[in-house]
Structure 1
Amino acid sequence: MSQQSYPVVKPYLKTHTLVPENQETPIEFIQNDTIPSRLFYRRNHFSYPSLSHSNYWLPINGLVSAPLLLSMQDLLQMPAKTVKAVLECAGDKRSFFKPKVFGEQWEKGAINQGFWKGVPLRTLLERAGLREGAKEVVIEGYDYGKTPDSDQVYTYARSLPIEKALHPDTLIAFEYNQQPIPFKHGFPLRLVVPQWYGMASVKWIKQITIINSHFSGPFQSIDYVYYPNKENNEGAFPVTTINVNSTIQQPRDMDILNRGNHIIKGIAWTGEGYITKVEISTDNGQTWTNAKMDNRDSGQYGWVLWSYEWAAGKSGEYVILSRATDSTNRIQPSEPFWNRKGYGYNAMDKIKVKIE
């Protein structure tokens, strides 16, 4: 078997902006099931906050019977659990929308997977005692600044409906891959909401407030909303669950390969159920073949590694596609659901290669 050899390159984050810092993972170089913290994509709306771990307290207030003020030591002494989960920015793959949309022009690397350890948010809410009428849980971060379309200063804050907040795997996390969460990813505490896009997983948690209404902060009611119409807000609805998706990691787009056998490989993930099938086409969608899924035991919230051995016998240019299907029968479409802010891109992945 001849297999294309790739040059040894030390992977690094691809920078989109430095202030605030937005950098994506070189997903084509990820070989393992988890991403090390140095290659974890960075998504920020504002500059990094200033806060002290030594004097860190977490208030839980609002519609509760017994408001709490918890130290890190308090949290570390509570029963914790570890969850392996995909964390994907809602704007992942935004650069592929046609027509183009404004926003960070993410390619395929605004996605991450790792092991998160923390205390279920449910544990804290039960200890505080939810009062009658509680509808949403607002999680506020320490990061703040002005939004692009306003001179007003906001902190980054999001809410969860009570049902999602009480899910046993919604975590107040303090570890990532058996280490304290790196500062740039939310140290000392961040929310982790499996199956939802990353905007829900608020970093640098400042406080948690239970309310009896719908939270309408700018990162809830203006951003992270699907706007299907270019000219108006008709039909708008919130961004929540991750769409079924896949990415081809190798070969890379525009690679030049020799004739012979090549391994096409990548990842597939979903926010509902689990991946049941990944298909590959090497003729721009005319025919499809099932790929081999290598880690079906990736956990309830993990991505699937897949591979396909391709016998490239003829010279020429080839368009390779991947599409995933999940257990709820969601399948990647040939075209994405276009929306004005460019969220949730999940069209079949596509690369072009040349065989010499």
Structure 2
Amino acid sequence: MENSPRNTVRPYLITKKLVPENQETPIHFQNGDIVNEKLFFRRNHFHYPKFTSSFYLLPIEGFVYTPKVFSLQEIYSFPAKAIRLVLECSGNKRELFEPNVFGEQWGKGAMSQGIWKGVSLRSLLQYTGLLDTAKEIVFEGYDYGARSDSNQFHHFSRSLPIEKALDPDTILDYEYNHHPLPFKHGFPLRLIVPGWYAMASVKWIKKMIVIDQEFKGPFQAVDYVYYPNTENDHQKTLVTSIHVNSTIQSPLNMQTLNTGVYEINGIAWTGTGQITTVEISMDEGLTWHTCELVSSSEKYAWVRWKYIWDAHKKGEYTIKSKATDSFGNIQPLDPIWNRKGYGYNAIDSIKVKIE
């Protein structure tokens, strides 16, 4: 008789769209601090680009003293830096906004975490220098296509202010989890901007252009902007730093359980500072209990947390989680609604039934 395989069930990406490919990480089944590249969420605006990586060159031009073109071999030869960090799509949890907003209806898994390794952008720019009038650096990706709002073709391009570009932890990445960066995640070079939502981490970098003014590309001046009003663009602001947030991973929403003792666990993360506290409520927020943080609070990584719950009374329960970071940012009861659905970070909430 054949032996039955045990513990061989593996989660899969959760498909939101196939063309272009947009898929979520099965975040509720991620028990460690590293997400395998096959389960790393995929966010694309266009088809995957086509180019010959064996002849890849990276030009840096514009308001620099010495324009240069770098080969991959040169970039590999520079001192490297590895950083464990969260990449979170700014549309993560968009489907939870009320009223609903248009856009990719991400659940709670448009985020992943791993170890990124590359060269500090600051180190690379030492070879070109920056003119005093330099204000921003534009990163243009190889991916391009027509936008639905104009039918005009654009490369996916975004900029960073010089101050953020020169942060020693902003890197041009070529490895993920100690392996070459996968093509679907930006090979051969991807910008990694710690602490900012993932739209800033441009994939398949084609070139870098230093400019002396504010970048007005559509993926920065139109998309990835907080619009607090439905009818007009008043008080709009750019999407940048990740908001403090948490997600309950276990138990699952609408799960039925028997009476007993359970470990409630999940993750918490922020773009500013570190997570200092995670609290949990079993009575819809009337009372809160402090959770145990079970992983170290690295600067850009999520923190895993847990709470032991003695569920001895039958009934329906609403469980909520609330995180606080070292800058005093606390998850709000309600999200800050905006018409493109970015930056959802309301207190997380699930329901369970004890029988």
TM-score range, shorter chain: over 0.9
1:278 maps to 2:278: yes
Q: In the alignment, which residue of structure 1 is the partner of 2:18? A: 18
Q: In the alignment, which residue of structure 2 is the partner of 1:231? A: 231
AA aligned to 2:345 is: N
* Aligned equivalents of 2:170, 2:51: Cα separation in 1: 24
* Aligned equivalents of 2:30, 2:180: Cα separation in 1: 22
1:55 maps to 2:60: no
Note the C-alpha offset of 1:295: 1.1
* Aligned equivalents of 2:220, 2:136: Cα separation in 1: 12
Q: In the alignment, which residue of structure 2 is the partner of 1:113? A: 113
Q: In the alignment, which residue of structure 1 is the partner of 2:158? A: 158
1:277-302 superposed Cα distances (whole Å, 9 cap, x missing partner): 00000111111000000112x42111
TM-score, normalised relative to structure 2: 0.97
Q: In the alignment, which residue of structure 2 is the partner of 1:4? A: none
| SS of the residue 1:345 aligns to | coil
| SS of the residue 2:53 aligns to | coil
1:297-350 superposed Cα distances (whole Å, 9 cap, x missing partner): x42111100000000011111000000000111000010000000000000000
* Aligned equivalents of 2:43, 2:25: Cα separation in 1: 11
AA aligned to 1:187 is: F
Note the C-alpha offset of 1:8: 7.1
Q: Kindly tell me: are residues 167 and 60 of structure 1, through their superposed partners in 2, closer, same or farther at Cα, counting changes over 3 Å?
A: same
Q: In the alignment, which residue of structure 2 is the partner of 1:208? A: 208
1:314 maps to 2:310: no
1:132-181 superposed Cα distances (whole Å, 9 cap, x missing partner): 20000000000000112111000000000000000000000000000011
* Aligned equivalents of 2:209, 2:243: Cα separation in 1: 29
Note the C-alpha offset of 1:22: 0.2
* Aligned equivalents of 1:92, 1:111: Cα separation in 2: 7
Taking the TM superposition and a 5 Å limit, the aligned residue runs for 1:93-242 are 93-242=93-242
More divergent stretch after superposition (89-98 vs 117-126): 117-126
AA aligned to 2:334 is: E
* Aligned equivalents of 2:183, 2:99: Cα separation in 1: 36
Query: Identity over the aligned pairs, expressed in percent?
Result: 59
Note the C-alpha offset of 1:9: 3.9
* Aligned equivalents of 1:85, 1:207: Cα separation in 2: 24
AA aligned to 2:342 is: Y
Note the C-alpha offset of 1:127: 1.1
Q: In the alignment, which residue of structure 2 is the partner of 1:352? A: 351
AA aligned to 2:314 is: S
Taking the TM superposition and a 5 Å limit, the aligned residue runs for 1:14-93 are 14-93=14-93
Instruction: In structure 2, list runs of 5 or more residues that go unmatched.
Output: 1-6
AA aligned to 1:355 is: I
* Aligned equivalents of 2:8, 2:55: Cα separation in 1: 44
Q: In the alignment, which residue of structure 1 is the partner of 2:331? A: 332
Stretches of 4+ aligned residues off by more than 3 angstroms? none
| SS of the residue 2:55 aligns to | coil
* Aligned equivalents of 1:208, 1:304: Cα separation in 2: 34
* Aligned equivalents of 1:273, 1:304: Cα separation in 2: 12
| SS of the residue 1:76 aligns to | helix
AA aligned to 1:337 is: I
* Aligned equivalents of 1:79, 1:182: Cα separation in 2: 21
1:174-196 superposed Cα distances (whole Å, 9 cap, x missing partner): 00000011000000100000000
| SS of the residue 1:54 aligns to | helix
| SS of the residue 1:127 aligns to | coil
Instruction: In structure 1, list runs of 5 or more residues that go unmatched.
Output: 1-6
| SS of the residue 1:340 aligns to | coil
